[in-house]
Structure 1
Amino acid sequence: MKTYNCIIVGSGIAAMQLANHLSDQSRVLVITKSTRRANNSYRAQGGIAAAIGNEDAPFFHYEDTIKAGCDFQNEKEVRELVENAPALIEQLKNAGLPFDKDKIGQLALGMEGAHSRKRIVHCGGDATGKHMMEHLIASIRPTIDVMENCFVYELIIQPDSKKCIGIKAKDADGNNEVYFSDNVVLAVGGIGGLFSFTSNDSSVAGDGVALAYRAGAEIIDMEFIQFHPTLLYINGKTTGLISEAVRGEEARLIDQSGMALMKGKHSLEDLAPRHIVAKEIFHQRAAGNDVYLDISMIAKFEEKFPTITALCNKNGISIESGKIPVAPGCHFLMGGIAVDSVGQTSIDGLYAIGETAATGVHGANRLASNSLLEGLYYGKKLAIHLNKQIVKIEMDVTSFHPMKTSSLNTPLFPHKKEIQEKMMAFAGIIRTRSELEVLETWLSEYDHPSFIVNSLDEWSIENIQKLFMLQTAKLVVNAALLREESRGAHNREDFSVENKRWGQLHIVQSKNGTEMRERQREHTEIEIYA
């Protein structure tokens, strides 16, 4: 029997931060469907937000986060996140992470959208995620088991206690394996793979949400999906991210005639919150107009943004031309698996951290560069929590039957590309009831009650992945239909302004049904100066 104190599903920044902070006494398995470098964290360009500048303080970081998220956050969680950010950066710096420095040897601070001050620390110009992940991967202790190319397809729930006691996984050859654990942590990223235009790694497709939902966990705020304004756009496809840090260096969005796109649209113009900029680009492209990022004013662009330069060169875009064609794409899920302050889900023994978890810090729209910060903070916080309860692994698995035979024939699912194209067309940046209902009807054609309860032991990885994508898509569409307002990253063209009736409510979904739950409004105070 393969038993652990903690199984971590995923290999991004939240997963690796957790693994690195778990006690040496804890037996740990990190398991990922692809490789440990195939995740959104590794692809992150911009950096990590932290109030460490002389004219900055956690209070200002808090204000910017709340404003960007349309005041839909758990204020206590936001306060703790921003107050812990400077210490987390200091710890990484002391551990040898090579943050970029300015001319006088201090940490270089960048500006990004919706921030009131320069507070983005970065590595290698626009390769922060790569440097961060290589640092964390190198720090993993040899006694931690790391399994790559293993697809987790089911959470094992003990019938009597309803506690999560392990996982089922398929290796690259489709062979089934079972692993038991005191605690299971989902840290598998977001849902970018549900959409045809996305900045996400190709392995990211909503697995965490689907796994938790199928096991009976609560899923929350699935309508809040951030679309990054600037993905490289070539021949009708998006091929990679153009970091917001480029606009932080005064690049500006222009239309095909050279006119400034964001002028007069928002007080921050090109550095307005992402949902506002993405919406403007969407409208331009919907009208048949091309949109470009004008970078002609940025001196030594290749030195400041080597990753973006390489991406453009690879796709035949000349940096010397001074213009990069861009379009919005799915970037980040603000909702996800409902968790408490340490990542505990509604199922005992099951935790979630990182983008797959709805921690309450992002509200209706995430502030730029708060994602890597969230992974660092909650990865360490959960490790501290789990380290307090390490016990000798003794679990009763006599009632568990490792593999079940399913009487349900494998269904004929649509191609992944068709799911992605329909999600982009009908549940993307701008939504309407009529389009969402069209998508809801199409998704219902692949709906079968047995898909929730039947074992997937005999299914192929490809069909399980499609099932997960369809189930996660249904959660998104249902929530987007229910929230009859526009708030943050949720844009309903038929309800263009915030609706007070919906302003205080979360949409919570589980196998038991859907409910509206009053959001937490815990009074919190934060000092203006750190």
Structure 2
Amino acid sequence: MTKDDVIIIGSGVAALQLATQLKMELNVRIITKEKIRTANSYLAQGGIAAALGTGDHPAKHVIDTLEAGRFHNNKEAVQQVIHAAPTLIKNMALQGELFDKDSSGDLFLGMEGAHSEKRIVHGGGDATGKNVMEHLISRLNNNVIIEENVFAYELILNAEGNQCIGVKAKTPEGSIQRYFASHIIIATGGCGQLYSYTSNASTVSGDGLAMAYLAGAEMVDMEFIQFHPTLLYLNDETKGLISEAVRGEGAILISDDGTPIMEGVHTLRDLGPRHVVSQRIYEVRKQGRQVYLDISQIADFEKRFPSITAICEKNGIRISDGKIPVAPGSHFLMGGIKTDLIGRSSIAGLYAIGEASCTGLHGANRLASNSLLEGLFQGEQLSKWINQGTEEVQHVEWNHTFSFSKKECVRLPDVQQLKDLMMERVGIVRNEVNLKSQLAWINQFNADEVHLDGCSTEEITQVFMLINAKLITEAALKRTESRGGHFRSDFPMEDDGNWLRKSIIHHYTNGVGKNDEHNKTAIAT
């Protein structure tokens, strides 16, 4: 049993930004299920959005964010994050050679989908995530302990069940370790691995989301999954991300006969919002046609996009041919653990930052390159708040965890079957029949009643994937409209009159003060 001031679960940009800015007097522990560099953030090819251009202004960036999010956004969150972005990026640029510059020495600003101005800052061409991650890792102080290959799987609450005081984790040897701290932060990212086609790292299976839900934290907007339009697609498998910045530099989407597929679909054509482009590619592929990214008009592609060039060459795609086969795949979760901009959840002592949290910044569909921005912003804000020490934290020791009425590890489905069914039934296009079928299939496993201590890490991952699949499917079934990343073929139009609001999912956990409501889910709108 260990006792720290701050425990951070996860090791992406949001986690490291927080860790680097916490004061030296605090004992900080980062717990990550694999290596510190095995994170979605490290794979991020896209950049960071900030209104830095001479003709740009945060007000324009705000409008683009709201439009992409289909006005489901928390407008206050949008205003605060977007207006803070220029200063945040300028300050980071002063810390080292993180970002690419143009011939005059100014930050090079790129264009991405649904942006009205060139405002995307990149590092290393298409290796922004790696650049920022390495920079933050280099700035970690010796008050930060990193626990690699340690799988956090259950939050520890106080006796009343209203404050998070720690987390249980499994070590590489399989033993159970309990960690305690005044502040427990979930920064584990989203749940992209729920789908057979995804850009996400293999570790991103929704662990932190499931832990928070099982502890009773409020979850919100779980139906909103962003499918990135362009993943490299070969032999019925996706092999990696082809950044939206490629289309920003002039690439267009074509069918196998060379016909541009975005003409007449959206005013921004190939740079339309991601849900629009993904749905169009989905339609074309359902007609039996392959979709390609025509890159023939981009000069010096290999120099501009070295990481993408390497992915293509590794998989036998020659850049000189001028086209890359693509298909959409799960990319980003707009929903998650409901928090404010600092990262505070509905449970005292429990925080979430980055993709695991839902501040309302992204609304129903994330604007390109706003995600790294949000992680950096939240990490900085939470560090300031913790450093001030303004919260009165109840210091308690662990006395018991809540495992009432829980079952030992039960029959679990094949992971690939779960991914395939989520892609088919709860993917880019949804309808009531498929959603009800999926929910019935998920419910047979009773995943939220499993006693996790007796499960292997692989089994716990399966349980967490099932829980997240249930949350997404329930929320998608409830929302009888189409908005952003959530498209219902049986309700294809937006319905502002009934649905311009959040869907909050709450798990009544541990029987604490809930009596007959134990282990039931309520959806409040």
Query: Normalising TM by the smaller chain, what interval?
Result: over 0.9
Q: CA deviation at 1:43?
A: 0.4
Match of 2:246 in 1: 246
State the secondary structure of the residue aligned to 1:467.
helix
The alignment status of 1:261 with 2:269, answered yes or no, reads no
Match of 1:343 in 2: 343
Does the 8 Å contact 1:406/1:456 carry over to 2?
A: no
Aligned mates of 1:35, 1:364 — CA distance in 2: 31
Does the 8 Å contact 2:98/2:135 carry over to 1?
A: no
Match of 2:466 in 1: 470
Match of 1:509 in 2: 505
Does the 8 Å contact 1:212/1:337 carry over to 2?
A: yes
Equivalent residues in 2 for 1:221-370, closer than 5 Å: 221-370=221-370
Does the 8 Å contact 2:33/2:152 carry over to 1?
A: yes
Equivalent residues in 2 for 1:96-495, closer than 5 Å: 96-160=96-160, 162-389=162-389, 395-397=395-397, 399-400=399-400, 408-447=407-446, 450-451=449-450, 455-495=451-491
In structure 2, the CA distance between the partners of 1:496 and 1:94, relative to structure 1 (3 Å rule), is: same
Which residue identity is paired with 1:483? R
Residues 131-150 of structure 1: CA deviation (Å, up to 9, x unaligned) = 01000011101221001111
In structure 2, the CA distance between the partners of 1:427 and 1:379, relative to structure 1 (3 Å rule), is: same
Q: CA deviation at 1:415?
A: 1.6
Q: CA deviation at 1:418?
A: 1.1
Does the 8 Å contact 1:405/1:457 carry over to 2?
A: no
Equivalent residues in 2 for 1:67-106, closer than 5 Å: 67-106=67-106
Aligned mates of 1:160, 1:189 — CA distance in 2: 28
In structure 2, the CA distance between the partners of 1:502 and 1:40, relative to structure 1 (3 Å rule), is: farther
Does the 8 Å contact 1:17/1:380 carry over to 2?
A: yes
Does the 8 Å contact 1:255/1:261 carry over to 2?
A: yes
Q: CA deviation at 1:393?
A: 9.1
Q: CA deviation at 1:504?
A: 2.3
Residues 456-488 of structure 1: CA deviation (Å, up to 9, x unaligned) = 212111111100000110000000000000001
Which residue identity is paired with 1:446? F
Does the 8 Å contact 1:262/1:280 carry over to 2?
A: yes
Aligned mates of 2:70, 2:466 — CA distance in 1: 29
Which residue identity is paired with 1:51? A
Aligned mates of 1:212, 1:245 — CA distance in 2: 34
Does the 8 Å contact 1:65/1:78 carry over to 2?
A: yes
**Structure 1 stretch 474-483 or stretch 497-506: which is displaced more?**
497-506
Aligned mates of 2:239, 2:95 — CA distance in 1: 34
Does the 8 Å contact 1:97/1:131 carry over to 2?
A: no
State the TM-score, normalizing by the size of structure 1.
0.94
Q: CA deviation at 1:160?
A: 2.3
Aligned mates of 1:398, 1:284 — CA distance in 2: 56
Match of 1:50 in 2: 50
Residues 349-397 of structure 1: CA deviation (Å, up to 9, x unaligned) = 0000100101110000000000000000011001111111179998331
In structure 2, the CA distance between the partners of 1:170 and 1:324, relative to structure 1 (3 Å rule), is: same
In structure 2, the CA distance between the partners of 1:161 and 1:226, relative to structure 1 (3 Å rule), is: closer
Aligned partner (choices 496, 500, 521) of residue 496 of structure 2: 500
Aligned mates of 1:264, 1:189 — CA distance in 2: 35
Residues 138-192 of structure 1: CA deviation (Å, up to 9, x unaligned) = 1101221001111101000002262100000001221110000001000000010
Match of 1:526 in 2: none
Which residue identity is paired with 2:284? Q
- Percent identity between matched residues is 49
State the TM-score, normalizing by the size of structure 2.
0.95
Unmatched tracts of structure 2, length 5 or more: 509-520
